[in-house]
């Protein structure tokens, strides 16, 4: 990239950088070697001509766009397979996926959830049967859980799997319209198999929801099998190439062994054998929620790179009347909009790495029959997924707005990035629903703290606060982290007291819960924020890096802490011992941090190491040829391929002529 002829503003910005960009790239990637491998892999993918679109996708019809995405998905699969064989390297397909598809791959669910569910929910025999076929694409699958009528409340799903002991089969049925599966990615026209989450019935008795692996299309003709009704759900706000679909069954039979039985089992005679914990059936969702925190980091870095580079190139208005127009990045309001995006990406990455470790530890425990830490993992993954995805959506939108009118151009890629980022707020558990799951855990933890019990590490601050809620405020990163814990503890207490108040007024627990649920949701958000602050600050101070880089990483981490303290200063005034003067000091600190980060802004986004092919942006490319690219892309419009469009003769001319009469 270094030899590309760049916009002079970007050249100057890069020269100003106080740290070694390559050092940060290696740190993000996990070492110099990892960067080399990543770059070699990406170079290979993006030099495949067939993966490059001659015409921007947006000009294609819905159908052509889908077919083009499938074409590219198959080529990408082949290239990756060869690459893995040759170099024994497991590539990050999601990162290059943004380059290849702009949006998302029709195979996203195959990789992300179908294969993962066979691993997580299948017995060793079932894995041996389906995993090799799924991994080498002999079968293509998705995860079909959500229905027209139910998504959040999984226990309310209506698809039925009724066991027939005579034939040792399950009979799948969708008797109502609301029971039709709705949303699964790839289901529309791509997959031939899916994991169907259905209500198990044996001898008329319900045994809750269970996962089944079901073939829905003929492997040769791709026609839906008799008894299967399947199709695509149509255009959406984003995820245009994900090929989301609907599905219903009519007396469709599958063998007994197609129920994934790692947890619960159905024996030949119809005896139901309970698993260790029925919630383990929800395991794939927990895994993906953890993964989404990592996606939030990538999505935020995409938007930050585009908006920061553009802001360095774009000049508009003046700060001082007698001086030239300034780079818009020099406006402190612009820095306020953008630097939190850079900081958030680092916070999400660090928290993802921390959460992944907890996830793997709990998986190891579960393999040995220990489930003590499962509730804490579930509660933590729920609230972090909810808060990170919403933050990422807001940050991406702020980056888009920070690019003014050009941010509204599809060619900036910011609308598409926003489309797939904002989807994460809803899928894999809608944000409020997940925050309320965590609130259940927090209320239980609060009760345990009141009873003097030892709490799990992520909530132990509740007991600390109970012992001493009068800690003096300190304007240091550690003091701010404590402050966030005080806010969270104060909110948990307030929500708990509100439930108790309603119960005393004669409400039952469920109604009291609903009446207190705005507070419960806010408590859960505050709990997440305290984890995000504590974990990210902790990771940064433990980072081994050169003094120059460490200084910049600390500035970013502090910016995150101060930004969110100021954003929620009302809560701090209510629940911590912060004073108005402390807030004024933090405001000053915030301004100092913006100024300190400013010279490194371009270097920081360069360190996300996102190739132009992944950014897909007229505004964000490495060379900063913004106006040239905007014009080049505009000229690709089909309307610019003819000097006069037929509509002139058909409609405009008659209109003008009628007006003359
Ligand atoms: C790294 C890979 C990245 C891959 C990326 C792929 C991206 C693909 C892109 C898009 C795909 C999108 C896919 C989907 O959206 S799939 C559908 C996802 N659907 C949901 O997430 C539904 C959300 N709803 C739920 O999860 C549940 O209904 C619920 C948790 C909200 C409630 O469940 P319910 O059975 O009603 O439980 P209760 O509320 O009654 O709680 C009972 C008890 O159980 C505990 N609990 C709930 N869930 C879990 C769990 N997963 N693990 C452990 N424990 C759980 C809960 O805490 C309660 O405990 P208690 O308070 O002690 O009683
Ligand atoms: C892009 C995208 C891709 C998807 N891919 C898949 C897929 O591959 N496979 C799959 O199975 N599903 C998929 N889904 C479905 C997704 O998982 C659900 O849409 C999601 O879980 C939310 O459920 P819902 O649509 O039923 O929302 P609802 O639950 O109906 O939410 C509507 C509103 O009701 C509120 N609400 C609901 N319950 C409660 C409650 N208990 N307390 C308070 N408020 C409540 C919510 O907060 C929300 O404001 C996808 C969705 C999207 C958008």
pLDDT at 605 over 70: yes
Please tell me the predicted confidence (pLDDT) of residue 468: 81
- Domains in the chain (CATH in brackets) are 112-275 (2.40.110.10), 286-451+477-605 (1.20.140.10)
Nearest C-alpha neighbor of 366 from the set 277, 248, 268, 460? 277
Report the atom number in ligand 2 closest to the C-alpha of 186.
Answer: 8
The response to whether residue 423 sits with its C-beta less than 6 Å from ligand 2 reads yes
* Structure confidence at residue 90 as a pLDDT band (50, 70, 90): confident
Ligand 2 near 191 CB (within 6 A): no
Cα 282 to ligand 1 centre (Å): 6
- Report which ligand 1 atom has the smallest distance to the Cα of 104: 9
Strand partners, 209: 199
Record the tokens describing residue 563, joined without a space: 């930004």
Q: What average pLDDT does the chain have?
A: 97
Rg (CA), the chain: 27
Report the distance separating Cα 40 and Cα 639, nearest Å.
38
Answer whether 155 contacts ligand 1 (Cβ < 6 A): yes
Angle formed at CA 309 by CA 630 and CA 323, multiple of 5 degrees: 95
Q: How far apart are CA 500 and CA 503, in angstroms?
A: 5
Do the annotations mark residue 146 as ligand-binding? yes
pLDDT, mean of residues 458-480: 92
CB 245 within 8 A of CB 232: yes
212 three-class SS: strand
Q: Which ligand is nearest to the CA of 93?
A: 1
Scanning the structure block, which residue is given the tokens 């009141």?
Answer: 450
Orientation of helix 547-567 relative to helix 477-504, angle to 10°:
30
CB 386 within 8 A of CB 528: yes
Q: How far is the CA of 382 from the centre of ligand 1 (A)?
A: 8
Ligand 2 and 122: CB distance under 6 A = no
Statement: residue 3 has pLDDT above 60: no
Residue 41 has pLDDT above 70, yes or no: yes
Which ligand neighbours the alpha carbon of 362 most closely? 1
Helix H or strand E encompassing 229: strand 228-232
Distance 429 CA to ligand 2 centre (A): 6
**Residues annotated catalytic, as ranges:** 428
What residues contact residue 317 under an 8 Å CB cut-off, 6+ apart?
325, 326
- Please name which ligand lies nearest the alpha carbon of 285: 1
Kindly state the percentage of the chain with pLDDT values over 70. 99
Closest Cα to residue 304, out of 331, 333, 342, 340?
Answer: 342
Cα separation of 40 and 43, whole Å? 5
* Model confidence at 1: pLDDT above 60: no
- Give the number of the atom of ligand 1 that is nearest the alpha carbon of residue 374: 53
The Å distance, Cα 186 to ligand 2 centre, comes to: 18
| pLDDT greater at residue 55 or residue 201 | 201
Cα–Cα distances in angstroms (integers) from residue 61 to residues 101, 209, 390, in the given order: 15, 38, 31
| Residue 241 contacts residue 66 (beta carbons within 8 Å) | yes
Mind listing the pLDDT tens digit for each residue in 208-225?
999 999 999 999 999 999
Q: pTM higher than 0.80 for the full model?
A: yes
Q: Using a 6 Å cutoff on CB, does residue 184 contact ligand 2?
A: yes
Specify the ligand 2 atom closest to the Cα of 429.
21
CB of 518 closer than 6 angstroms to any ligand 2 atom: no
Q: Which of 292, 437, 443 to mutate to test the pocket of ligand 1 (most atoms within 8 A of CB)?
A: 437
Other residues' Cβ atoms within 10 Å of the Cβ of residue 551: 14
Query: Does residue 470 register a pLDDT over 80?
Result: no
- For residue 142, the ligand 2 atom closest to its alpha carbon is 8
The residues, any chain, with a CB within 8 Å of residue 433's CB and separated by 6 or more, are 152
Mean pLDDT for the stretch of residues 410-435:
98
Q: Is 427 a pocket residue for ligand 1 (Cβ < 6 Å)?
A: yes
Among 95, 156, 181, 279, which is best to mutate for testing ligand 1, by the most ligand atoms less than 8 A from CB?
Answer: 279
| Ligand number with the minimum distance to the CA of 292 | 1
* Residue 379 Cα: closest atom of ligand 1: 57
- Tell me which H or E stretch contains 390: helix 374-401
Q: Which residues pair with 206 in a beta bridge?
A: 201
pLDDT exceeds cutoff 70 at 2:
no
The pick from 282, 348, 376 for probing ligand 1's pocket by mutation, whose C-beta has the most ligand atoms within 8 angstroms, reads 282
Interval 531-572: pLDDT, tens: 999 999 999 999 999 999 999 999 999 999 999 999 999 999
Sequence-ordered strand ranges (E) for 97-204: 141-144, 160-164, 169-173, 181-182, 193-202
Contact 190, 71 (CB under 8 A): no
Q: How confident is the model at residue 4 (pLDDT cuts 50, 70, 90)?
A: low
Q: Please, are residues 329 and 319 in contact by the beta-carbon 8 Å criterion?
A: no
Cα dihedral angle (79, 84, 90, 92), rounded to 10 degrees?
A: -10
In 590-608, which positions are buried (b, 16+ CB within 10 angstroms) versus exposed (e)? beebbebbbebbbbbbbbb
pLDDT for 120 beyond 80? yes
Integer Cα distance of 32 and 592 in angstroms:
32
Ligand 2 in contact with 358 (CB < 6 A)?
no
Q: How far apart are CA 195 and CA 187, in angstroms?
A: 11
Of 163, 38, 138, 159, nearest in space to 96 by CA? 38
The secondary structure of residue 395, as a DSSP letter, is H
Tokens coding 254: 């599958």
**Cα dihedral: 247, 251, 254, 256 (round 10):** 120
Q: Could you tell me if the CB of 145 is within 6 A of ligand 2?
A: yes
Does the C-beta of 530 come closer than 6 Å to ligand 2?
Answer: no
């Amino acid at each position: 990239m270094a030899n590309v002829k760049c916009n002079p503003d970007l050249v100057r910005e890069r020269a100003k950088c106080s740290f070694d960009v390559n050092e940060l790239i290696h740190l993000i990637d996990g070492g110099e070697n990892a960067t080399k491998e990543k770059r070699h892999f990406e170079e290979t993918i993006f030099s495949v001509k067939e993966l490059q679109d001659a015409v921007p996708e947006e000009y294609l019809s819905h159908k052509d766009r889908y077919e083009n995405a499938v074409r590219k998905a198959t080529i990408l699969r082949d290239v990756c397979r060869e690459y893995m064989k040759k170099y024994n390297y497991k590539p990050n397909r999601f990162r290059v996926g943004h380059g290849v598809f702009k949006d998302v791959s029709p195979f996203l669910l195959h990789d992300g959830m179908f294969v993962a569910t066979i691993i997580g929910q299948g017995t060793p025999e079932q894995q041996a049967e389906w995993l090799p076929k799924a991994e080498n694409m002999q079968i293509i699958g998705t995860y079909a859980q959500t229905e027209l009528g139910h998504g959040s409340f999984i226990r309310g799903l209506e698809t039925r799997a009724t066991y027939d002991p005579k034939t040792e089969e399950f009979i799948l049925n969708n008797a109502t319209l609301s029971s039709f599966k709705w949303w699964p990615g790839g289901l529309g026209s791509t997959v031939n198999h899916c994991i169907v989450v259905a209500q198990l019935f044996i001898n008329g008795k319900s045994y809750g929801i269970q996962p089944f692996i079901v073939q829905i299309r003929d492997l040769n003709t791709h026609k839906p099998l008799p008894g299967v009704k399947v199709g695509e759900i149509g255009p959406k706000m984003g995820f245009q190439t994900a090929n989301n679909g609907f599905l219903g069954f009519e007396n469709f039979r599958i063998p007994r062994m197609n129920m994934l039985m790692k947890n619960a089992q159905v024996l030949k005679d119809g005896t139901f054998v309970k698993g260790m914990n029925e919630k383990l059936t929800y395991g794939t969702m927990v895994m993906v929620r953890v993964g989404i925190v990592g996606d939030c980091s990538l999505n935020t870095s995409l938007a930050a790179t585009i908006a920061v580079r553009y802001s360095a190139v774009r000049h508009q208005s003046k700060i001082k009347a007698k001086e030239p127009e300034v780079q818009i990045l020099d406006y402190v309001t612009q820095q306020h909009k953008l630097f939190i995006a850079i900081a958030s990406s680092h916070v999400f990455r660090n928290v993802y790495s921390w959460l992944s470790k907890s996830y793997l530890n709990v998986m190891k425990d579960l393999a040995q029959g220990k489930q003590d830490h499962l509730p804490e993992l579930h509660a933590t993954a729920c609230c972090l997924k909810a808060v990170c995805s919403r933050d990422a959506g807001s940050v991406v939108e702020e980056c888009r707005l920070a690019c003014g009118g050009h941010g509204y151009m599809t060619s900036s890629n910011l609308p598409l990035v926003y489309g797939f980022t904002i989807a994460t707020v809803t899928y894999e558990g809608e944000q409020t629903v997940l925050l309320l799951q965590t609130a259940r855990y927090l209320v239980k933890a609060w009760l345990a703290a009141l009873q003097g019990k030892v709490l799990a590490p992520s909530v132990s601050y509740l007991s600390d606060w109970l012992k001493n809620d009068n800690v003096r405020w300190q304007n240091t990163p550690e003091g701010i982290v404590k402050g966030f814990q005080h806010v969270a503890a104060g909110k948990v207490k307030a929500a708990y007291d509100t439930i108790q108040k309603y119960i005393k007024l004669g409400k039952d627990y469920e109604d009291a819960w609903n009446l207190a649920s705005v507070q419960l949701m806010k408590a859960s958000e505050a709990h997440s924020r305290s984890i995000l602050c504590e974990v990210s600050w902790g990771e940064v101070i433990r980072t081994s890096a050169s003094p120059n880089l460490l200084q910049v990483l600390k500035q970013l981490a502090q910016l995150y802490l101060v930004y969110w303290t100021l954003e929620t200063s009302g809560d701090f005034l209510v629940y911590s011992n912060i004073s108005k003067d402390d807030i004024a000091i933090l405001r000053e600190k915030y301004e100092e941090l913006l100024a300190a980060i400013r010279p490194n802004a371009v270097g920081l986004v360069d360190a996300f190491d996102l190739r132009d092919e992944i950014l897909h942006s007229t505004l964000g490319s490495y060379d900063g040829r913004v106006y040239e690219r905007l014009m080049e892309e505009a000229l690709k419009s089909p309307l610019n391929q003819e000097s006069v469009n037929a509509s002139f003769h058909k409609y405009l001319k008659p209109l003008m002529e009628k007006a003359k009469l």
